[in-house]
Amino acid sequence: MKVEVNLKAFEEAVQKITEKYMIPGTSVAITQDGEIFYHKGFGFRNVNDSLPITEDTVFGIGSITKSFSCVAIMQLQEAGKLNVLDSVIKYLPEFKVKNEEALKHITIHHFMTHSSGLPPMSSLSYAMKKSMDFDPSVKNYPGLNIDLEDREPIDTYEQLMQFIAEQDFELLGAPGTHFSYSNDAYALLGTIIERISGKSYEQYVYDHILIPCGMENSFFMIEEYGEYENITTCYAEDRSEGTKRIVAAPIWWDAPSMRAAGFLKSTTRDMLMYAEIFRNAGVVNGKRILSEESVKEMVKPHIQAQPGRFYGYGLMITPDYFGTTLVEHGGGLKAISAQLSILPEKGVSGVVLTNLAGVPAARVMQLAFNAYGGRAVDASHLSFEKYDIAEERLEQYQGEYQSNEGMKVSIKINNGKPVLLSQNIEIPITFVKENIFIANVNDSIEIAEILVNDNSEPYGISYHFRQFPKVAIKQST
């Protein structure tokens, strides 16, 4: 009854988000104890032809793919073929960073938890270069600030490791001490899976995860779908004429060297079957995919990613989400905003898949879980008290912060109040501690931390789960 009471408010809220962000199509579903009890397609998989969205419509899932990579690693550990505490150079002797001593201590576990010390890099863009060069809509992808003209594509794992070795960077800290989201680390997990299993990464995932789980409509390459027609059209935002338009942009981006980091395609039905691994202690449709112990390791809060939020293995963990544990991961890429969320203690799983980048899939999932839980549709498990930060401290935080991955933000003071400038949009921010602030970005709360050295001098920012440096100072306006 709780779902019925909140269902109308939920669907009205999702419709508002759909209209605000001009999302062509969204698929939302929730399961209880493995059974789908709610599914709705908002909008269309193809707007021009008014083609509906079903539980079997194919979308990209982006970085939710990372959890599949960790399932594969844990399976190989169960088979005695590796240990997550093994040094990565045991399997990747070509992997190099400047700090040779620290390199010896970087383990598979550090790759899985984004704690190897690798900073954000531009390699993902170069790995997608062939797709992007072929795609006239590439100019519309939000936040892409990488010049792709200056080097060849990164098509192989060996080229990726060579690229990393050529970069002039310091590790963010000793392995295991700093969380910073790393697509490179996850791409290299794919390399380890290949070398240990003797199969391509993609074939290993098909043979040991997708097929045993019964995920019949999940593939890495769009060409593998053959005659299957229930596939979303890709869409992109176009502002070339001065106003925002959503246009069909049918080219799917690919990155052969980075598939382990985020290039699986799937459906709502398939993803909810996959979620059973974490909801049902490793068993899907009566088949054991992972041991119960391996599942526990994957959903263990290994390292803090944000205050109150941790990273396990390929999954984000919130230990206190309205009094229960939330296990989740999002995904974003061209024509992809996706969210997979599981409340294992409640026996509940949910998935949101969309066909447009940069829209709040995670917020839609939160609304759905609120509806399920009988809460107000806009309820939040987060609560903050405003911190009165000293003006002189705020002055020190001003400036531009930029990562080699292409992300750039600035902190400014406008009319005496701090704002975050991101993608030419000014977002009011509220400090909740001296070095931690919150911002409402795309209808979701983003928590950011100003990074300071031993002398309390700001040197960088942890934002959107990445650490990147302060590169310029700006004056008040």
Containing structural domain, residue 114: 1-381
- Percentages helix, strand, coil for the chain (3-state, rounded to 5) are 35, 30, 40
What CATH code is carried by the domain that includes residue 46?
Answer: 3.40.710.10
Output the six-digit token pair for 395: 């002055």
Output the CA angle 310-312-313, nearest 5 degrees: 150
Domain stop point among 359, 381, 403 = 381
Do 185 and 126 share a structural domain? yes
- Percentage of the chain surpassing pLDDT 70? 96
Cα distances from 381 to residues 301, 384, 444, in angstroms, run: 18, 10, 12
Mean pLDDT of the region 284-288 = 97
Q: Residues 325, 463: one domain?
A: no
pLDDT at 319: 98
Residue 3 confidence (pLDDT) above 70: no
> Does the residue 386 lie in any domain?
no
- Answer whether residue 262 is part of any domain: yes
Q: How much is the average pLDDT of 284-296?
A: 97
Query: Do residue 267 and residue 370 come from a single domain?
Result: yes
Q: 172 with 210, same domain?
A: yes
pLDDT for 151: 82
Does 148 score more than 70 pLDDT?
A: no
Domain annotation covers residue 253: yes
Domain end: 348, 381, 414, which one?
A: 381
- Do both 47 and 161 map to the same domain? yes
330, 349, 381 — which closes off a domain?
381
How many whole angstroms separate alpha carbon 178 and alpha carbon 465? 11
pLDDT-derived band at 475, boundaries 50, 70, 90: very low
Give the pLDDT mean for 276-299: 98
Q: Look at residue 477 and tell me if it is in a domain.
A: no
Whether 156 has a pLDDT exceeding 80, the answer reads: yes
Q: Looking at the predicted structure, is the pLDDT value of residue 433 above 90?
A: yes
Read off the tokens for 141.
């992808």
The candidate with the shortest Cα–Cα distance to 42, out of 13, 15, 61, is 15
374 with 398, same domain: the answer is no
Question: Is 477 a residue whose pLDDT tops 50?
Answer: no
pLDDT at 227: 96
- Is 203 inside a domain boundary? yes
Task: Give how far the C-alpha of residue 125 lies from the chain's centroid of Cα atoms, to the nearest Å.
Answer: 16
CATH of the domain at 424: 2.40.128.50
Distance of CA 162 to the CA centre of its chain: 25
Please give the tally of structural domains in the chain: 2
CA distance 219 to 349: 21
Please tell me the predicted confidence (pLDDT) of residue 342.
98
Do 468 and 339 belong to one domain? no
| Residue 84 sits in the same domain as residue 32 | yes
Domain identity same for 346 and 425? no
- Burial of residue 70 (number of CB atoms within 10 Å: 0-12, 13-18, 19+): buried
Q: Write the pLDDT tens digit of every residue in 342-384.
A: 999 999 999 999 999 999 999 999 999 999 999 999 999 999 9
Q: Is residue 106 part of a domain?
A: yes
Per-residue pLDDT tens over the stretch 223-270: 999 999 999 999 999 987 778 899 999 999 999 999 999 999 999 999
pLDDT above 90 for 221: yes
Q: Say if residue 237 is in the same domain as residue 334.
A: yes
Span 450-460, mean pLDDT?
A: 93
- Joined together, the tokens standing for residue 268 give 């709502």
Share of the chain above pLDDT 90, in %: 86
Higher-pLDDT residue of 41, 6 = 41
174-206 pLDDT, tens per residue? 999 999 999 999 999 999 999 999 999 999 999
Whose tokens are 């269902």? That residue is 7
Q: Give pLDDT, residue 6.
A: 67
pLDDT at position 467 over 70: yes
Return all residues near 374 (Cβ < 8 A) that are at least 6 apart: 2, 3, 5, 6
What is the per-residue pLDDT for 301?
98
Q: Supply the DSSP string of 68-82, one letter for each residue.
A: HHHHHHHHHHHTTS-
**pLDDT given at position 197:** 98
Q: Is the same domain home to 269 and 183?
A: yes
What's residue 140's pLDDT? 74
